[in-house]
Amino acid sequence: MNQTPGALAGLLIVETAERVSGEYTGKLLADLGAQVVKVERPGGAPTRGMGPFREGESALFAYLNANKQSVVLDLDQPEDRALLDRLLERAHALVDDHAEAWLERRDLAPDAVARRHPALVHTLVTPFGQGAPATLQTLHPINVVNAGGWAYHSPSETPRDKPPLKGAGRFLPDYEAGIDAAMCTMASLLRLRRTGRGQFVDVSEVEVQLNRIDCVLDRMLAGEAEPSQERTAYDMGGPGTAFACADGHVFLFMTTRQHWKALCALMGDPAWAGAFREDWLEFDCTPANVAQFRDRFGPWIALQQKLPITEAAQKAGVAMVPVNTAADLPRHEQFIHRGFFQQAEHPVFGTVAYPGACYRMSATPVRVRTPAPALGADQQEVKRMTKEVPHAPA
């Protein structure tokens, strides 16, 4: 395996975060080569107890904490709290995701950290950002994704009698916020290198959600569409949805006459298509026509294989994609070509295909260097580090 130092090699990041948002922030920095020391409470981080599990080990924790080190500190105990301060004296950044009350009790509020460690980048990821009411500081991802509007927007086609869903996975807002938090942390680390001064980075998960709004929500904010509690108010329109095919599902999206003409040609111009106007998607996209199309299209697509038909559709100008399962992805020829999944050894799981990065860096490639650490695996090394002379500013 290529052991070229990562782009952030030489930087020390301390992670006191205990939720997915903060741990993902630390993961992105660790993947880029930073030394990330994860501070865990006695008994371990809460994510060690979150499924899915394999042989008693959390796969979620294994994903979020590869390339990190682990030290166990009880931050309610003066001795351990003092060790954390000594570690922060050496560190370049601190990543956290706790509520204000938790921080205050442990003297880790932004002002206190800045006073003790002025040459430290302090990134804090919370549901509503600093200053939010106490009741909004310990929300779960489903609360955040609803507050940001996405539970009503994605996925579409939820039955009227069903509640809003969380969208793409149970931790969507955590991962999105982690991306922005890592980006802001790296920008602040560059400033630290140039000026020798740290700063506080306040990341609001809900504001990240609002930052991701697409054309549907844009139209509502611009006054072109009326917001409502109707689930369909957030739909793009048209007959597009997921359809069952011979070996899984495909997702079809159509809104223009060009889409319609291309799909008709792909299907061999069936006779039933003549019942629709050529511009029906733009000017006659009624519920009745949508239902009729789905009734007619469904039996045809049910006979098709998802990869050949979606490839043919895309070449023809039809926005159709396969609905990939988790089992499909490691076998996908594009991901194989890109080397997206990296083979690495885990002490419990054995050889594992880790999801990689969505970017490729020629001089400093992202690598899974080490699996997620055992609890307290780096206790002695961290204690040795804190007895040495602190680093000079980056």
Q: Is residue 311 situated within a structural domain?
A: yes
Token readout for 378 is: 């780096």
Give me the number of domains the chain comprises. 2
What are the helix (H) ranges across 196-279? 205-211, 215-221, 257-266
How many of the other CB atoms lie within 10 Å of CB of 4? Answer: 13
Q: Is residue 221 situated within a structural domain?
A: no
Can you give the CATH number for the domain in which 173 is found? 3.40.50.10540
Q: Of the residues 298, 324, 350, which one is the last residue of a structural domain?
A: 324
Q: Which residue has the tokens 């394999």?
A: 54
Residue 357: Cβ-neighbour burial (10 angstroms; 0-12, 13-18, 19+)? middle
Cβ distance 68 to 37 under 8 Å? Answer: yes
Q: Is residue 175 situated within a structural domain?
A: yes
The CA-atom distances, in angstroms, between 199 and each of 8, 26, 27, 96, 278 are 18, 17, 21, 14, 58
Q: Judge if 21 and 147 occupy the same domain.
A: yes
E-only strand ranges, the chain: 12-15, 35-40, 53-54, 57-58, 68-72, 93-96, 121-126, 199-204, 242-245, 248-253, 319-322, 341-346, 350-355
Compute the distance between CA of residue 72 and CA of residue 376 in angstroms, rounded to an integer.
5
Distance, C-alpha 362 to centroid of its chain: 24
Cβ distance 173 to 148 under 8 Å? Answer: yes
Q: Of the residues 287, 308, 324, which one is the last residue of a structural domain?
A: 324
Q: Judge if 269 and 363 occupy the same domain.
A: no
N-to-C CA span, the chain: 29
Cis bond upstream, residue 52 (ω within 30): yes
Q: What is the pLDDT of residues 222-245, one digit of tens each?
A: 877 677 766 666 555 678 888 999
Q: Judge if 270 and 376 occupy the same domain.
A: no
Strands 35-40 and 68-72: parallel
Q: Judge if 179 and 275 occupy the same domain.
A: no
Q: Judge if 19 and 113 occupy the same domain.
A: yes
pLDDT at 96: 98
Higher local confidence (pLDDT), 84 or 170: 84
The boundaries of the domain holding residue 313 are 242-324
Can you give the three-state secondary structure of 114-152, one letter per residue?
HHHCCCCEEEEEECCCCCCCHHHCCCCHHHHHHHCCHHH
Q: Judge if 145 and 248 occupy the same domain.
A: no
Q: Is residue 34 situated within a structural domain?
A: yes
Q: What is the pLDDT of residues 124-143, one digit of tens each?
A: 999 999 999 999 999 999 89
pLDDT at 227: 72
Q: Judge if 37 and 113 occupy the same domain.
A: yes
Compute the distance between CA of residue 45 and CA of residue 22 in angstroms, rounded to an integer.
12
Compute the distance between CA of residue 33 and CA of residue 10 in angstroms, rounded to an integer.
8
Q: Is residue 230 situated within a structural domain?
A: no
Q: Is residue 199 situated within a structural domain?
A: yes
Q: Is residue 216 situated within a structural domain?
A: no
Q: Judge if 336 and 278 occupy the same domain.
A: no
pLDDT at 11: 98
Q: Judge if 128 and 197 occupy the same domain.
A: yes
How many of the other CB atoms lie within 10 Å of CB of 377? Answer: 16
Q: Of the residues 305, 324, 343, which one is the last residue of a structural domain?
A: 324
Q: What is the pLDDT of residues 263-305, one digit of tens each?
A: 999 999 999 999 999 999 988 888 899 999 999 999 999 999 9
- What percent of the chain has pLDDT above 90? 76
Q: Judge if 196 and 273 occupy the same domain.
A: no
Can you give the CATH number for the domain in which 300 is found? 3.30.1540.10
Q: Judge if 50 and 137 occupy the same domain.
A: yes
pLDDT band at residue 1 using 50, 70 and 90 as cut-offs: very low
Q: Is residue 222 situated within a structural domain?
A: no
Q: Angle 53-59-60 (CA atoms, 0-180°, nearest 5)? A: 115
Average pLDDT along the chain = 91
Q: What is the pLDDT of residues 173-207, one digit of tens each?
A: 999 999 999 999 999 999 999 999 999 999 999 99
Q: Judge if 49 and 189 occupy the same domain.
A: yes
- Bridge partners of 344? 352
